[in-house]
Amino acid sequence: MPGDLAREIRRLEARLDVFLQAEDAFVTELRDCLAQFKKLTDGLERLEAGRASERVTDLSRLRLEAAETLNAVLQRQSKAEHEKSHILESYGALILALETRLQSVP
């Protein structure tokens, strides 16, 4: 079908946009996670050096926040990988539509 190739191109473009949005969200979440782990590391270093104003409860809170942000990173990465799988599916559909179209050319 002549429209199949154009449809597959549009589908791949749409999937690429969704994938890029998911990747951007993943990168943003990862940067937030790294910042959270840096806060936790700074607190631990101050505690170990004996100059900490942090209490153990404060460090426990930071540890929980770091774990929560890491969980969010993993969820965002999972979403990005899922969207990437749709792009891979579209590659195959695009090639198949191209081959089908070329077969119908006299």
pLDDT tens by residue, 3-52: 799 999 999 999 999 999 999 999 999 999 999 999 999 988 888 887 66
pLDDT at 11: 97
Q: Residue 14 corresponds to which amino acid?
A: A
Given pLDDT bands bounded at 50, 70 and 90, which one contains residue 2? low
pLDDT at 50: 77
Measured in whole angstroms, the distance separating CA 32 from the mean position of its chain's CA atoms is 13
DSSP string, 59-70: HHHHHHHHHHHH
Task: Output the six-digit token pair for 27.
Answer: 């990168």
Instruction: Return d(Cα 48, Cα 94) in angstroms, integer.
Output: 58
* C-alpha pair distances (Å), 10 with each of 19, 95, 100: 14, 14, 17
pLDDT at 54: 61
